[in-house]
Amino acid sequence: MSLWMNAQPAAGLVRVSLVGPMGIGKTTALRSLCGALMAAADVPNLDRASHSKEFTTVGAEFGEIDLGGGERLQLVGSPGQERFDFVRRWVLNASVGVLLMVDVCDARAPDYAAQCLAEIASLESEPLVVVVSCRDASEQQQEAFSSALADRGHGIVPVIQADPRDRQQLLDALGVLVSLLSLQSQA
């Protein structure tokens, strides 16, 4: 990974952001990956009309993974509510990679993902994106989602299924992102 470490400006840390709608599992994914090495920003959810979950994220959440050999990966989660879109933009601006977490079976997912991809594309330094399908989806559903993104002008975006509670599945998704970052740095 040292080939692409120089792409990240902040103190030698590679920063990957977790972005997605409220309730998709960003905080759960950070906890699965980082355990105690995580700073959460959860508060009681006062917007039960948007989502019935008990707690919600209202700021950036941080965690780190030790990659070995002195290299660390910093993960930053953003809140999913639109009223905190300024936090999401800040998180995206400081990242070299993005795990865009969605439920590809949700009819709104292609529009949400396309909106996020357009926001990411408008950044001065565009991070690489891997879409993480956080709910069970068939291969056909994943292909339909990918086609919907392509139809909206976003080309081919990798889509990987990973349960936010399953550390190994998330590490596999990060592995794909890291591989893409490594390839980008060699170009």
Write the pLDDT tens digit of every residue in 77-132: 888 767 778 888 888 988 999 999 999 999 999 999 999 999 999 999 899 999 99
Is 98 within the bounds of a domain? yes
Is 3 within the bounds of a domain? no
Residue type, 141: Q
| Region of poorest pLDDT, from 3-12, 28-37, 83-92, 128-137 | 3-12
Is 109 within the bounds of a domain? yes
Q: What pLDDT, on the 0 to 100 scale, is given for residue 47?
A: 62
Tens of pLDDT, residues 144-184: 999 999 999 988 899 999 999 999 999 999 999 988 988 88
pLDDT (mean) for 132-145: 95
| Region of poorest pLDDT, from 27-31, 52-56, 111-115, 152-156 | 52-56
pTM for the full model? 0.83
Query: Does residue 141 contact residue 159 with C-beta atoms inside 8 Å?
Result: no
Is 113 within the bounds of a domain? yes
Is 140 within the bounds of a domain? yes
The full DSSP string for the chain is -HHHHTT--STT-EEEEEE-STTSSHHHHHHHHHTTSEE--EEE---TTT---SEEE-S-EEEEEEEETTEEEEEEE---SGGGHHHHHHHHHT-SEEEEEE-TTSTTHHHHHHHHHHHHHTSSSPPEEEEEE-S---HHHHHHHHHHHHHTT-----EEE--TT-HHHHHHHHHHHHHHHHHHHH-
Is 2 within the bounds of a domain? no
CATH code of the domain in which 181 resides: 3.40.50.300
Whether the per-residue pLDDT at 42 is higher than 80: the answer is no
Residue type, 8: Q
Q: What pLDDT, on the 0 to 100 scale, is given for residue 152?
A: 92
Q: What is the extent of the structural domain holding 114?
A: 14-44+54-185
Is 73 within the bounds of a domain? yes
Domain count, the chain: 1
Q: What pLDDT, on the 0 to 100 scale, is given for residue 1?
A: 38
Is 20 within the bounds of a domain? yes
Distance spanning both ends of the chain, measured CA to CA: 15
